Amino acid sequence: MSSEPILSIKNIEVLYSRVISALHGVSIDVHKGEIVSLLGANGSGKTTTCKAVSRLLEAERGEVSKGSIEYKGKDISNLTAFDMVKAGVVQVLEGRHIFGHLTVEENLLTGSFIRNADTASVKKDLEYVYDRFERIRTRRKNLGGLCSGGEQQMVAMGRAMMARPNLILLDEPSMGLAPQLVEEIFEIVKTLNEEDGVSFLVSEQNANVALKYASVGYIIENGRVVLKGDAKELSDSESVKEMYMGGGGDEVSFRDVKFYHRRKPCMV
């Protein structure tokens, strides 16, 4: 793409507790209005990449030790997690992280606080979120902790939408959900992307669905981007098919993949 990316991760390295190296050379661009998926096995560094952008890394005693991250052309290294949300970048955490003792609606409300908006406009946003996530409308008075996994994923995404973000960092939305629900979640992602103009960086182990909805895909392994390309091409590419999507058709879980030979790396 030719336009300036909205998010540009430039060759970053991340250390936890000053010594544990989690990322060594990750570069990712997300353009405005794009869905980019970040694929990789357990421990490859997907969550770390998202947290580097949302600045939640600090809460885990992690730091970006090399490279830089730019959002809308500006370096974010001096911003806090609060600043990032304020600027329109919200992470939806892996494992959903719903406020269990708050109701669904209270969960959504917490997402709106960053805007300091008046009650009327918050009400409107609530309605909008319930329109997008019909399933949780009837659960609004229920405690978040008692919702099903799929509902919780929707609450987490709805909560993020209440901040009216430009970019959502969606970390493993499919985790622990039935295939049908995963499709449903990704359909909503598509709607939010197409109708509301939200850009997405989606981290996933489920390469099939993630590449189906994304325009660009990155494959990360042991803290390094090893493959980047057009989502369509990636899902058609023999090596990716074979190693990540189970070649013959029955799905081999990403979790089982330990080694693979990069027969024809697109570009790195």
| Site of interaction with Mg ion (CB under 5 A) | 46-47, 94
CB distance 93 to 171 below 8 Å: yes
Q: Interface with ligand ATP includes 48 (CB under 6 A)? A: yes
Q: Interface with another protein includes 100 (CB under 8 A)? A: yes
Shortest distance in whole angstroms from residue 95 CB to Mg ion? 9
Q: Which is nearest to 166 in space by CA: 127, 192, 203?
A: 192
Positive or negative, the Cα torsion across 138, 140, 143, 147?
A: positive
- Judged by CB under 6 A, the residue of 43, 100, 179, 265 near ligand ATP is 43
Q: Binding mask 132-161 vs another protein (x if CB under 8 A, - otherwise)?
A: -----------x-xx-x----------xx-
Instruction: Name the binder of 22 from another protein, ligand ATP, Mg ion, none, CB < 5-8 A by kind.
Output: ligand ATP
Cβ closer to ligand ATP: 14 or 136? Answer: 14
Instruction: Name the binder of 134 from another protein, ligand ATP, Mg ion, none, CB < 5-8 A by kind.
Output: none
d(CA 35, CA 248): 27
Cα–Cα distances in Å, from 15 out to 20, 24, 169? 5, 9, 20
- Based on the number of CB atoms within 10 Å of its own CB, is 136 exposed (0-12), middle (13-18) or buried (19 or more)? buried
Size of the site for ligand ATP (CB under 6 A): 15
Instruction: Name the binder of 45 from ligand ATP, Mg ion, another protein, none, CB < 5-8 A by kind.
Output: ligand ATP
Percent of residues in the chain assigned helix, strand, coil, to nearest 5: 40, 25, 35
Size of the site for another protein (CB under 8 A): 35
Cα–Cα distances in Å, from 45 out to 48, 181, 203? 5, 25, 10
Return the range that interacts with ligand ATP (CB under 6 A); candidates 46-54, 83-91, 119-127, 258-266.
46-54
CB distance 65 to 15 below 8 Å: yes
Shortest distance in whole angstroms from residue 220 CB to ligand ATP? 7
Q: Interface with another protein includes 102 (CB under 8 A)? A: yes
Q: Interface with another protein includes 123 (CB under 8 A)? A: no
Helices (H), 100-230: 104-112, 119-132, 134-137, 149-161, 179-196, 207-213
At residue 252, what are phi and psi to the nearest 5 degrees?
Answer: -95, 125
Cβ closer to Mg ion: 44 or 107? Answer: 44
Q: Binding mask 10-29 vs ligand ATP (x if CB under 6 A, - otherwise)?
A: ------x---x-x-------
Cβ closer to another protein: 81 or 226? Answer: 81
At residue 38, what are phi and psi to the nearest 5 degrees?
Answer: -115, 110
Shortest distance in whole angstroms from residue 75 CB to another protein? 20
- Spatial strand order of the sheet with 167-171 comes to 89-92, 167-171, 199-204, 35-39, 216-221, 224-230
**β-sheet bridge partners, residue 203:** 38, 171
Instruction: Name the binder of 233 from ligand ATP, another protein, Mg ion, none, CB < 5-8 A by kind.
Output: none
Shortest distance in whole angstroms from residue 203 CB to another protein? 14
